[in-house]
Amino acid sequence: MILSLFSLVLLTILLSFLFTIRYSYISYKMKIYIQDFLPKPHKNLGRKGDVCPFMKKALKLNSIEVKYYPLIFLEKTLEDIILNNFEKIRNKNIYNSVVMIFTDTKIVKILKLQEKLKKYIVSEGYMIGEFYKNNLQAGLHNKEFFPLQTIVGCIALRKMVVGDKIFLDSEKYDETIRKEYMKYYEQSFAPARRLS
């Protein structure tokens, strides 16, 4: 009895240690991706400028919130987590954004949710993006460059910017969806056009 209790305590300590190591590694890799890859130029990008032009200023303004969601600690559904985070960044400055890192969630589940919520998020004038290890969505200017690959599955939410037209008017969507996305895009920038 004492031996089995000791073994259980030892196993718990070992699992906690392994979880901490894994979490630290994921945090380190994601920090490099967010701070050292996205806001800087890359030789394979195929154009001048940063990989993600949005990131440099957002980081400078400390407007990006990065949140980790290990599966074992989830109390809400993934959909609730995404929608709750969306509500927190809505109607704030244009650079307020959130990156949700789902350390143990199957990518299929993340992709289904992203697809399900995209129409609503875009209709509100925001973008929702998916990042994961084997993401084969190529860069716009180099079909051999894959900037959306991360060590674990992530969802990012941010305000729509003028440069997002190319992502919304994409041939990967059927014509009905493209028209709908473009309608939301036009609505997002109509007030700015009227003022100019």
- Model pLDDT, residue 190: 73
pLDDT of residue 71 exceeding 70, the answer is yes
Over range 98-122, report the average pLDDT. Answer: 92
- Model pLDDT, residue 93: 87
Report pTM: 0.84
What confidence tens digit (pLDDT) does each residue in 6-53 have? 777 777 787 777 777 888 889 999 999 999 999 999 999 999 999 999
How many angstroms separate the CA atoms of 49 and 34, rounded?
A: 16
What confidence tens digit (pLDDT) does each residue in 44-65 have? 999 999 999 999 999 999 999 9
- Model pLDDT, residue 76: 75
Q: Are 41 and 51 in contact (CB under 8 A)?
A: yes
- Model pLDDT, residue 8: 76
- Band (193; pLDDT cuts 50, 70, 90): very low
What are the residue ranges of helices labelled H in the chain? 2-32, 53-60, 78-89, 107-123, 165-168, 175-195
Q: Are 153 and 110 in contact (CB under 8 A)?
A: yes
Q: What is the largest CA-CA distance in the chain?
A: 78
- Model pLDDT, residue 11: 76
- Model pLDDT, residue 72: 63
Residue 32 has which token pair? 């490099």
How many angstroms separate the CA atoms of 134 and 110, rounded?
A: 13
How many angstroms separate the CA atoms of 43 and 47, rounded?
A: 9
Q: Are 149 and 133 in contact (CB under 8 A)?
A: yes
What confidence tens digit (pLDDT) does each residue in 121-175 have? 999 999 999 999 999 999 989 999 999 999 999 999 999 999 899 899 888 889 9
- Model pLDDT, residue 170: 87
The more confident residue out of 75 and 36 is 36
- Band (191; pLDDT cuts 50, 70, 90): low
How many angstroms separate the CA atoms of 112 and 33, rounded?
A: 24
